[in-house]
Amino acid sequence: MALSFGRMTRPVGLGLALALGAALSVGVATQASAGTSAQQRVKVHELVTKDGGFFYTASESEKQNAITKHGWSTTRTPLYYVSRAPFPGGKPLYRLRWDKKASYIVTASVAERERLVSSGGFRYDGILGYAPGSAGAGGEVKVFRLANNNKWRLAIASHTEKILANEPGWKLDGPLLFQFAQAG
């Protein structure tokens, strides 16, 4: 399935970029955090693909295209906001697609991103957005990653506990980064 949604921010020199990308320009809010320049915050959306995988976007137009063109559906998983642009204390969130199905993984680790791409089983999809690397960088909501048989999910602490208690097969991968609780 070829997907084309827009563009994502990619590090220069990585020729592994795909057609799937996030145009992080819709629904943007601006907020200044203590001691940093203004940040354009965008809502993170979780969708379920037809393959049963999970897909994350911070673009309203990309979300709508996934729903209307590919039949993916949004979930009620509570997620919050990331920044469109780098900021002091922020870390990029990398989105990768598993080659065998429409299943996506988000990582904040360059080493994990490179390892997964080098394995031949994943394609680098670009930067989803920038998240606070710590509470001190403005992070208000801790986000965790879970895994279940080549499916990966993001969840805040309270939702992580519900998934682990009520949905068999999910295992905690560990903390990812933080998100902002408000758009601005």
At 40-62, the pLDDT tens digits run 999 999 999 999 999 999 999 99
- The residues that bridge with 127 in the sheet, in sequence order, are 9, 94
pTM of the model: 0.78
**Is 54 exposed, middle or buried, given 0-12, 13-18 or 19+ CB atoms closer than 10 A?**
buried
Higher pLDDT, 17 or 10: 10
Percent pLDDT > 90 in the chain is 74
3-state secondary structure at position 82: strand
The per-residue pLDDT for range 54-111, each reduced to its tens digit, is 999 999 999 999 999 999 999 998 999 999 999 999 999 999 999 999 999 999 999 9
Per-residue pLDDT band for 170 (boundaries 50, 70, 90) equals very high
The CA distance from 6 to 24, in Å, is 9
The pLDDT score that the predictor gives to residue 2 is 39
- With beta carbons less than 8 A apart as the criterion, state whether 44 and 128 touch: yes
Provide the mean pLDDT of the chain: 82
**pLDDT (average), residues 147-157:** 95
Residue 34: which pLDDT band, with cuts at 50, 70 and 90? very low
Residue 39: predicted pLDDT: 73
Distances (CA, A) of 134 to 32, 36, 99, 111, 137: 17, 14, 32, 19, 5
- Residue that the structure tokens 């080098």 belong to: 118
User: What SS3 class is residue 177?
Assistant: strand
Return the pLDDT at 183.
87
